[in-house]
Amino acid sequence: MAATRTTEDRAAAHPPAPPAQSALPALPGLSPRAVGMAALLLTVAIWAAFALSARALGASTLLPADAALLRFGVPLVVLAPALWRRRRRLAAVRPGPAAKIVCGAGVPFFLAAMYGGSLTSAAFVGAIVPGMVPLFVSVLMAAGGRPAPRGTQAAGLVLIVAGVAALVSRHLTALDADVLLGTGTLLVASGFWALYTVGLREVDLDPVGSIGLLCLPSLAVIVLLTLTGVLPSGLAHAAGADIALFLVVQGLGVGLCAGLLYAFAIRRLGPERSAVVGSLSPAVVVLLATVLLDERPTLPVVIGVPLITLGVVLANRRPRRLRSGAGEARTG
What is 202-225 written as a DSSP string?
T----HHHHHHHHHHHHHHHHHHH
Per-residue pLDDT of the chain (332 residues; tens, 9 = 90+): 433 333 334 333 333 333 344 455 555 556 777 887 888 888 888 888 888 888 888 788 999 999 999 999 999 999 999 999 999 999 999 999 999 999 998 999 999 999 998 888 888 888 888 888 888 888 888 887 777 778 888 888 899 899 888 888 877 766 678 888 999 999 999 999 888 888 887 888 888 998 999 999 999 999 999 999 999 998 889 999 999 999 999 999 988 998 788 777 777 776 656 666 667 778 888 888 887 777 788 888 889 888 988 888 888 776 555 444 444 433 34
C-alpha count within 13 angstroms, C-beta hemisphere, residue 259: 27
Among 256, 144, 279, 129, residue whose Cα is nearest residue 198:
144
Positions of E strands within 167-272: none
Among 248, 261, 253, 289, residue whose Cα is nearest residue 41:
261
